[in-house]
Every structure is written in C-alpha cells, then in structure tokens.
Amino acid sequence: MKQILLIIVLGFALPSFSWEGMPMPRLHVEGRYLKDPQGKTVNLHGFAQTYSPFFNEVGKYWDNYNVQGCLRYNQEKIDEILRAGWKMSFLRLHMDPYWSNTPGCSGRYEGEECFNEDRFRKYLDEVFVPMAEYAVSKGIYVVMRPPGVCPHEIEVGDVYNNYLIQVWTIVAQHPILKNHPNIMFELANEPVNIRDPQGRFGASNQGHFDNLKIYFQAVFDAIRAQGCNNILWVPGLGYQSLFKGLAANPIEGENIGYAVHLYPGWLGSDGENQDGGIGTGGGYEAFQAGWNEHVKPVADFAPVMITEMDWAQAKYNSSWGKSITGVAGGTGFGANMKKIADASGNVSWLIFTEPYLLAQFKNTPPREGEPFVFLNDPEACPWPTFHWYEEYAVRSEPKPFKEVLTIPGLIQAEDFDIGGQGISYSDNDPENQGGEYRDEGVDITTDNEGNYVVGWTEVGEWLSYSINVDSTAKYLWEARVSSAMDNSSFKIFVDDKDVSGNIVVPNTDSWDSYVTINGTTENITAGKHILKISITGAFVNIDWLKFSELNTVSIIKTLSETPKSPVNFFNLKGQLKLQSNKPVSSTLPKKTNRQLTRAP
C-alpha cells in the first residue's frame, strides 16, 4: 500500500523560500560549492520554462509570435506555482528557437540551420530578458539555456560550435544580462557524441572529452572576452550524463559548474527512458556506482546542477522519465537521486514537470478510496519533490540536532546542528570517513573508550551548534582533544565573532590519546546564538566542549608562544597527562593523504 509523505510542522509557519522583492545575493563558485558573499554554501531547487506555444499547453493560450501573450501566460505560471506553495529558488529558462528561427525555414529546427541573429536580438529583449527579470523579481535565480539542442554528433569548430559562440557572445554583451548577480548560463543542451582526435565519434574515451574541453573552452572564452563573469554551467556527453573525462581535462577559468541531465535508467538507476538507459532492480547501489563513475569526478572539484530530470509511472503520461520514487537506499529512482545529491552536498536540481501542472498542485492527499493522480501520487515526482523543497527551505538555517544546548553546559562535538553542508557544517569531502553515528559528511568515529569523536579535520572545516546562554559573562571553556601533529588548532565563534582566539592543541603522540585543555572566552551575551567550532590547524580530534562559570575550575592557558615553564595537560581523571613547552609554529601542515595518515 502506498504511503503519503507528510510533513507536520508544529509551533511555527514554514517560511516561503522566495518572495517578491526578496534580497538575492550574488553567488559565486568556490571550490566544489556555490556560495554566497558570506561563504555560505547554496544549493538551488527549481523548475523549467520553455517559451513556445507547443510547450505552453500546445498553443491553447497564445501563438503567432504573440509576445504579450507569451509573457502573460508564463508570468502567471510563476505566480501560480509560488501561490501553490512551491519553494522554488531557480528557473531554467529556455530561449526557445521558436523566436530566433527564420519562419518557414526547412532546416534543422533545433538551432544553427534556421538561426536568425536579428530575430534572436529582438526577442532576447522582448521575451527572454523580461522573463528572467520577472523570475528574479520573485526571488528566483535564473539559468538561461541557448536555443535548441545539440546535433547528435559534434566536432571542434563545427557549425554548431560557432553557433553557440555567436549566441553566447550576444547574450554576454547584453547590458542587463552581463554580470547580472542572479542570472547564470548553461552553455548547451545535451551533447551526445563528439569526434575524437582519431576521427571517431563517441563519448567513451579520453580523446572525446579532450575535444569536448576544446569545444566548450572556446564558448567559455568568448563569453569571458566580453567582460562577462556570470556563473557558467558546462554540459557533458551522453545526453549530458557523462563527465569523467572532463575531470581529467576540465574547462579552465573561474565560476564554472557542470550541468547534468539525469533520467530513470541512466547511470544504473532503476527505470526506463526512451533515449538512453534501462535499469531494473539495481536500486541504490547500482545508481551510486554509476554516479561515482560518471558524475562524481567533476562533483569532487566543482558544483553540479541537474537541469533536466523527472520520474513517474508510464500510466500518467506526464513525465519524460519512467520510474517510481522508491525508497532511499533501496529500489526506485527519486528517493535514491535525493540521497545521492544530498550526500554530495553540492548538487542543485530541478524537476522537468510542465509548469502548468506544477501550478495545479495541491498539498492534499486523496480521500480514502480515491485513486492517486500524477500530482498526488507519492511515487511520481511532484508530490515528494514539493515536500523535499519545503524541507530544503526550512533547512536554510541550522536547527538543533537534539535540543538547543545550554551554556553553562556540555557540547558533544558530534551533536552539531541539522542543516547539511554549508549550513550546519562544512566538510571538505562528502563522506563520513569514520562511518559512525550520523549519515552526513562530517567525519565521526569512536575513541578507545567508545566515545563518539569528530576527526579527520582539515583547515577551513567547521561545525555549528544552536545554543542558549544563561547570562552575559565570560566563560571557562574546556575541550577534550587529541592530535598526533604539532600544529593542530581551532577557534570558537559565537554568531561569527571569535570568542576564544586560536586554540593550539598539543601533540599527544597519538590520535587515540586524549587530553583536556581549557581557557576563557570573550564576553558572551545571554540568549540564543549559533556557536561554531572552526578548524584552523588540521587533524585535531574533538570529543566535547564544556562551558562553566569562571570560578568553578582553575585555568590552564593555551599559549600562542613559547611558554616560560612547562604547561600541564590533565586527563578527565585529573591525572597529569602531558607537559609541553614546545613553541607553536604559525606554519600549518601540508594536507596529509587521508589514505596514508589516519586521524580518527
């Protein structure tokens, strides 16, 4: 029996993720993440629009190049989607060739053969830019896609390569689009095969991807030559599902991500799709393996955006992809897609469901005895996606893992907030290296006494905790820590204010040998705050932090210079564990290979 996914919210209202006039920060690519100016990781979730009569309910409401009819229909759909409660944060905007093709042209509809530059410039101004600005006015980021679809076979310097350069040069010169803080570009739609240096068309060897790099590097360079620094999303081969070779030879430049298409049956996932893959019963493990082989190589160093994807049973005839939501970690497509994307921590995604259907969505399950329909069937993409988008919107701020922690009191390092990568923590790789306690990217293991500890820490990583401070004061902090290195260190922040200074962790000769160190904080005001542990020197293991009133424990200072006499470090039983008068180096250690040096 099917079960309806419900989210019950008690005590507060869900905030809308976007609203008219909402401030929208300029995003940028930093390492493998999209980030805002404050360094917060951003993953976007959205939908797509195509501005042609056929894709707007087959000409039911406008046709014959009716600009105002097109704008009215599609702007109304954005409004209706938001009124239906969808928490949308980006729109994939197709600059459909309906507008840029010469009317009556008998060549290939999907782009280069019928392209008319004058028409493209005209309707860029009259249709595409107004729609992009309208979406932004509603708090929705925009990813613009060029007119049409790649030919089945492409080669470096071909007509289509030059067509893309021509289109994007025009777009990159546009005074509204150029360097717009909320508008991004997807360089092409669904390359399939490319000619390699030996003259063979395909998508399988490194030569194919080397030439794909040359192909899109030319497009990238043409955009940047206009002084246009918008974020650019680069497609792969195999209908935009294969990227492994681009990891070996990536596009060169900044503000680059990779645009993936993903349908049931692709990458070993469960389901069928008519233009590429069939998967039956492989479930999560086969899907994860396919992702690891073909997408993860680029997701390891750049953000990923899934710009086409949907799923539903074939009986509904309302989706491109045919599969079910299924169960995360088990069979099915949708739930496993979400599990994989969330674990990666840097994947934005959308569903390709037609906007007029999204606008009709009602967050009401069928009455007992009533049959499911496409929009309320939990095995079709709209119902679970609506609730997942709600969940992501609520997660945009960290939430307590178990309860709000109090100061004075104990903070277990592994009990960091809920929210995910860039919200409640930042970890440099998506896997929990220790495999203990929580299914998130933070590395958690146990010490030799069975306590959960956070380890494998690297410079720049951090953990956040929702706290309530009883009274305004300076506090004694204590920390149970270990390190087998001389330069491990961390800081304590409250609401992004450094309240501890740099805390140097002594070399305890083994990551399994723990000591308790302590010091004092700056003044912390009473009330609710976010406390953050920020790693400033790699490979410290942290079990807990404890905060007490200053008069409860004598203080052993953590020194930032050579001490005049040995500093004593005691274990939890009060026994002398270590004496140290080593000077503290300001030089951080080089990153240690996680496979060779274990810092549990």
Tens digits of residue pLDDT in 356-399: 999 999 999 999 999 999 999 999 999 999 999 998 887 666 78
Mean pLDDT value across residues 347-361: 98
- Spell out the domains of the chain, with CATH numbers in brackets: 44-394 (3.20.20.80), 405-580 (2.60.120.260)
Separation CA 318–CA 337 (nearest Å): 19
Going by C-alpha positions, the residue among 23, 57, 26 that lies closest to residue 39 is 26
Q: Is the pLDDT of residue 577 over 80?
A: no
Is the distance from CB of 322 to CB of 309 less than 8 angstroms?
Answer: no
Q: Distance between alpha carbon 600 and the CA centroid of its chain, in Å?
A: 27
pLDDT band per the 50, 70, 90 thresholds, residue 278: low
pLDDT band per the 50, 70, 90 thresholds, residue 277: low
Q: Distance between alpha carbon 25 and the CA centroid of its chain, in Å?
A: 16
Q: Is the pLDDT of residue 576 over 90?
A: no
pLDDT band per the 50, 70, 90 thresholds, residue 111: confident
Separation CA 253–CA 29 (nearest Å): 11
Going by C-alpha positions, the residue among 486, 435, 492, 450 that lies closest to residue 589 is 486
Of the given ranges (15-19, 278-282, 376-380, 499-503), which has the lowest mean pLDDT?
Answer: 15-19
Mean pLDDT value across residues 498-519: 94
Can you name the residues that pair with 492 across neighbouring β-strands? 533
pLDDT band per the 50, 70, 90 thresholds, residue 422: confident
Is the distance from CB of 477 to CB of 520 less than 8 angstroms?
Answer: yes
